[in-house]
Amino acid sequence: MSPRSSAYSDGTKGFLFALSGAVLLSTNFITGKYALEGFHPETFALIWTAAASFYSLMIVLFTGGWEQLALPWSSLRSLIFIGIATGIGMLLGWTALDQLDPSFTAFLGRFRPVLIIVLSFIILGERLASRELLPIGMMIAGCIFSAVGRWEIVGTGIVLAMSAAFMAAIQQVIAKIAVARAHPNVMVFYRVVIAFVIIGTWNLLAGRADFDVELSYWLVLLLGALLGPTLSFHLMYRAYRYWELSRASTVIIAQPLIVLPLAYVFLGTLPAEREMIGGFIIMAGAAWLGLIHFSAGRKAETAVAVPKQNNKLVMARDHDVA
């Protein structure tokens, strides 16, 4: 296989893993919103991570990766940071979802690629072009439009959702670094187990745990914990092995288009008019930003592939001469 076709093959794998992960992650907004009608956010997050820890452990055991759980400190340290960021992000995110419409929360989540791109620039040395500032500004404008005149209703939820997006961006940047040293199955396990410890500690300190909830909420929560924090991240972490983090993160831009019909069908809800308009402004800016990154990535792949092909031609010519 030529270098160029290999690059495109890796790009396709990265895209498919990222897209599949994004679809499963979208179910979080539906299963989470429904279950939060019965559970308090802190209790919800505790059971969510406990179930995800069990699911992830089963995946590790059934795939024969038990011995891979023993990691050197250099690798384990990164996973601890991922778990801490996950635990804090879940407490913030589920509280936000409890207060906001699920589709509007998904729109706000489009800031995650922006935060990942900025952090990738700072930590990983990936490029941040000046032309990216305009779509980022467009996204901020959409967020402001959604909140104007309704801050007392949605303000707290917006702050919580944005804070959760920041914690999610931090964990994904660290994951991009750690995925070269740990198997994705192992990363997902440590991510949710450490998050469970963080959330469990918070529940003990706050005394908010309440498990007396109807069976239907339990069943939806347990299903959501399998689809969202478990299977979706198994796929997303695999995407990081084939794609740059900033490019993989742009795939989740279209997530609100998945959440909107799911929320309407299963929950019978849609965002308020101002939230809907502001949300589509946010998504349009995110799509513009994603287009910039895809274009830059394709140019980079072409630039790498062409010199390699030229080198092969030169080597063949020299061989003929010899």
Average pLDDT over residues 49-72: 87
What are the distances in angstroms from CA 152 to CA 22, 147, 149? Answer: 31, 9, 8
Q: How many residues does the chain have?
A: 322
Any idea which residue has 């402004």 for tokens? 281
CB atoms within 10 A of CB 228: 21
CA distance 85 to 97: 18
CA distance 153 to 159: 12
Specify the pLDDT at position 282.
83
> Binning pLDDT at 50, 70 and 90, where does residue 126 land?
low
Of the chain, the end-to-end C-alpha distance in Å amounts to: 26
Specify the pLDDT at position 151.
75
Structure tokens at 4: 């160029």
On the question of pLDDT at 64 being above 90, the answer is: no
Least Cα distance to 279 among 299, 305, 253, 248 occurs for: 253
Which residues fall within 8 angstroms of residue 78, CB to CB, at 6 or more apart?
174, 177, 178, 181, 182
pTM given for the model: 0.76
Specify the pLDDT at position 318.
41
Q: Which amino acid is at 147?
A: A
Per the prediction, the chain carries an average pLDDT of: 81
Q: Kindly state the DSSP code that residue 1 receives in the 8-state scheme.
A: -
CA distance 140 to 285: 9
Ranges of each domain in the chain: 3-321
CA distance 278 to 150: 12
